[in-house]
Structure 1
Amino acid sequence: MGFFIGKNKRKNKGWQRTYLREVRRPGARTLSSQLPPCQAFQQPTITKEGQTQKAYSSHVIVSINIPYNYSTKARTISSYTPNAQIHTEDEMVARRYLPPLFSVAPMMEWTDNHYRTLARLISKHAWLYTEMLAAETIVYQKGNLDRFLAYSPEQHPIVLQIGGNNLENLAKATELANAYHYDEINFNCGCPSPKVAGHGCFGVRLMLDPKFVGEAMSVIAANTNVPVSVKCRIGVDDHDSYNELCDFIYKVSSLSPTRHFIIHSRKALLNGISPADNRRIPPLKYEYYYALLRDFPDLKFTINGGINSVVEVNAALREGAHGVMVGRAAYNFPWQTLGHVDTAIYGQPSSGLTRRVILERYQEYGDSVLGRNGNNRPNVREVAKPLLNLFYSEPGNSLWKRKADSAFQHCTTMKSFFEETLVAIPDSVLDSPIEGVPSGREDLFANVQDLLPSPYDVREQEAVYA
């Protein structure tokens, strides 16, 4: 595990950076003279009985020097300590955030400002991610950044996901995003879309170049004061062995301050299949994720892929997952999924909110943003899009969607849209708070410990300097 703690310029040799490699050793003393003793950090865990406990780990720090070059030499580089690259408990308490036990995955054209506003109205504690923003978009639209980066303060805790393969643009984009006070910056190494991983040459294709990802994460971290993380798959095409995944994790964490990885538990296929097929055809290998917890005890890992209800989220947490990321289930079934997060996952009291109250608040938001970007954008259809699954499986849902489709043709305010469409939904549905817990597979991870691959045998010199 690496942390950048200083720099010095050496003639004709670029930047010489000193990193720290953490080695778990309970009760050990700090060996490095460059930092004070490393304090134990707290990590929330879920026991088999579902009770929240705190686990403590001690570390010994050993320094190693890793030289490399990057293109923004004129920039002042910040220094990092372990706590600078992880959300500490004190920091989250101060900001009233609970740990990211549950997060909503970044989804292109789905997790926009409108959806995130609805999600936060339903759940106070779920961690939200933006859509992926290309670094070039942020850099070249710096005169119009509010359109891409602005959000309401109520959306905290919120993570900005960026993508790209140009170090200078990644540095500039991160610096420009600082003014918007995101809680974390995430780097996309998992998107298999042909536009991204194909013509764009970033996304999941970057898993084939972990040295570059390490450099990119150092550049991103050097230009922000918030934690950084990587979202990736478990492999790409034929590069899908557990050891290759571990090589990627080891190299990135050794060459950068990255301490948090979100692991989509499928590999990606870059042979032209669609992103939808890439979420369906490659098999899930949850055993890879849980093996990472064993082999990299000083890192944080969030599991993603194929988890579709809070029942399955809690099953993953009981098995030891640090956090769980849910994708399309949180969008397609927002009431049934997000509505249970605060109580079933975080153990917080129910807000008692009904869908009528949520829609009243969403109406205020919607009417305030209509046409804000000019040319009648966003319009009623765009603002109402995240609402279309709010009444999934409820009486009147089909009629509500038909009325919504008709209303999109002429409604110019959210108020008029709701007046025309909500007559399809019975009052008993609109005025009922969230109840019960939806079904899910409690045994989804029951046998995962029996499937774990052999422990990772790191070839340190080869891994760090390759």
Structure 2
Amino acid sequence: MERKLWEILDVYLISLPDRFLAYSPEQHPIVLQIGGSNLENLAKATELASAYNYDEINFNCGCPSPKVAGHGCFGVRLMLDSKFVGEAMSIIAANTNVPVSVKCRIGVDDHDSYHELCDFIYKVSSLSPTRHFIIHSRKALLNGISPADNRKIPPLKYEYYYALMRDFPDIKFTINGGINSVVEVNAALREGAHGVMVGRAAYNNPWRTLGHVDTAIYGAPSSGLTRREILERYQEYGDHVLGRDGNKRPNVRDVAKPLLNLFYSEPGNGLWKRKADFAFQHCTTMKSFFEETLAAIPDSVLDSPIAGVPSGREDLFANIHDLLPSSYDAREQEALDA
């Protein structure tokens, strides 16, 4: 899992760290993502996080939002300053005892050649202990399109990802972008991917996307759990964490938000969401929230176990190795001085 802690701006975070950093032990392994361009603040953020025992600290070099990247201080624009990213990763690593990683795109605007991507990876890994990069296999376009369009308009270039694995054998790479099912996850792994990150698909349709993960990816026996049984367990978890920071946060809306697409495309889904919007205004426990909203969902949906593994593009990476760009020839002094 991944939690986001944007750049520290004032004493507010320092005075209320639990609100931003606390989580339940069941969430391990869990990664904290931080972002910003102020080295002192990045050090403070990492130091604050150390008390919470995250399993990894990740640095955001991939967000294309104009609210942050457009100001040149956050997210994917940092890919244009690989020397700074290397310095930032060194400072982050110096303030934690856990592994560090970078999440990035394959390029920015016209800086989208494979060689430029390799220069970024080479410089960051040479200037810091970073040995794990999560690669969103699209470039980012910073002018004229929204963050949502940046997740679908720039073409996917999975060949860049697999070429990085070839050219940097001592670094771990996780692939991201356009992978929407466990079938496609397995297709990436068969082609040698070190790891696979699934983002929007898991949020937009969690039952279909995640219901088979333990069985299809890790070979675990099928649990046979129903959505009703999952929600019963989630209720216990939710009521345990409500108001944990002493300032009524997280509230019911915060805790229930990851559930809102659990009934995607099922009968009653629209009514469930409308009931949820109304319940957020007054419910103070997860128990009362479910009592008020789940009547919208038929028992046949609540009590049916996950069906067979859904379809996906088994050929998503077919012939990918025939498309790899030419090998990267690291020009050490040039890359580090650039």
Q: C-alpha displacement at 1:369, in angstroms?
A: 3.5
Q: Return 5+ residue gaps in structure 2 as ranges.
A: 1-14
Using the TM superposition, give the Cα deviation of residue 281 of structure 1 relative to its aligned residue in structure 2, in angstroms. Answer: 1.4
Cα distance change of structure 1 residues 176 and 412 upon mapping to structure 2, 3 Å threshold: closer
Question: What are the residue-to-residue correspondences of 1:83-94 with 2, within 5 Å?
Answer: none
Contact 2:107 2:140 in 1 (8 A): yes
* 183-192 vs 365-374, which moves further: 365-374
Structure-1 separation of matches of 2:68 and 2:274: 35
Which secondary structure state, in structure 2, belongs to the residue aligned with residue 161 of structure 1?
strand
Q: Secondary structure at the match of 2:253?
A: helix
User: Any idea what SS the aligned residue of 1:351 has?
Assistant: coil
Matched-pair contact (CA < 8 Å) for 1:204–1:232: yes
Tell me how far apart the structure 1 counterparts of residues 95 and 251 of structure 2 sit (CA, whole Å).
35
Name the SS for the 1:342 alignment partner. Answer: helix
Shift of 1:203: 0.9
CA distance in 2, matches of 1:173, 1:408: 31
Partner of 2:79: 207
Describe the shift of the 1:222–1:372 C-alpha distance in structure 2 as closer, same or farther (beyond 3 A): closer
410 and 171 in structure 1: CA distance in 2 versus 1, 3 angstrom threshold: closer
Residue by residue over 1:209-257, the C-alpha shift from the partner in whole angstroms, topping out at 9 and shown as x without a partner, is: 1111111111111111111110000001110000000000111111111
SS in structure 1 at match of 2:330? coil
- Please provide the CA RMSD for this pair: 1.7
Q: Is the 8 A contact 2:72 2:78 kept in 1?
A: no
Residue 372 of structure 1 and its aligned partner are, at CA, apart by: 4.3
Inter-partner Cα distance in structure 2 for 1:216 and 1:173: 12
Quick one: structure 1 residues 399 and 229, their matched pair in 2 at CA, closer, same or farther if it must change by over 3 Å? same
Q: 1:376 to 1:256 in 2, by over 3 A?
A: closer
Q: Which has the higher helix share?
A: 2
Equivalent residues of 1:194, 1:272 under 8 A apart: no
Distance 1:220 1:408, change over 3 A: closer
CA deviations 1:252-300 (Å, max 9, x no partner) are: 1111111100000010111142111111211111110011111111110
Question: Which residue, 25, 29, 46 being the options, matches 1:157?
Answer: 29
Quick one: distance in 1 between partners of 2:247 and 2:123?
47
Q: Helix, strand or coil for the counterpart of 2:68?
A: helix
Q: CA deviation at 1:403?
A: 2.8
* Structure-2 change in CA distance of 1:444 and 1:211 (3 Å): same
Question: Is the Cα contact below 8 Å between 1:217 and 1:257 reproduced in 2?
Answer: yes
Displacement of 1:375 in angstroms is 6.3
The structure with more radius of gyration: 1
Distance 2:38 2:152 in 1: 30
1:441 matches 2:310: no
8 A Cα contact 1:388 1:401, kept in partner: yes
8 A contact 1:189–1:205 mirrored in 2: yes
The separation in 1 between residues aligned to 2:112 and 2:120, in whole angstroms, is: 11
Which of 394, 397, 402 aligns to 2:274? It is: 402
Aligned match of 1:356: 228
Counterpart secondary structure, 1:347: coil
TM-score in terms of structure 1 length: 0.67
* 8 A Cα contact 2:57 2:98, kept in partner: yes
- Where in structure 2 are the equivalents of 1:455-466 lying within 5 Å? 455-466=327-338
Shift of residue 377, structure 1, vs aligned partner: 4.2
Can you list the C-alpha shifts for 1:99-139, whole angstroms capped at 9, x where unaligned?
xxxxxxxxxxxxxxxxxxxxxxxxxxxxxxxxxxxxxxxxx
- Tell me the number of residue pairs that the alignment of Structure 1 and Structure 2 aligns: 323
* SS of residue in 1 equivalent to 2:174: strand
Sequence identity, in percent?
91
Q: Which stretch of structure 1 is more off in the superposition, 419-428 or 168-177? A: 419-428
Greater strand fraction, Structure 1 or Structure 2: 1
CA distance in 2, matches of 1:405, 1:166: 38
Asked whether the 8 Å contact 1:235–1:241 carries over to 2, the reply is yes
Following the alignment from structure 1 to structure 2, what is the Cα–Cα distance between the partners of residues 171 and 374? 26
1:379 Cα offset (Å): 3.5
Unaligned runs of 5+ in 1: 1-143
- Please tell me whether the aligned partners of residues 19 and 250 of structure 2 are also in contact (alpha carbons under 8 angstroms): no
TM-score by length of 2: 0.91
The Cα shift of 1:159 comes to 0.4
Contact 1:161 1:188 in 2 (8 A): yes
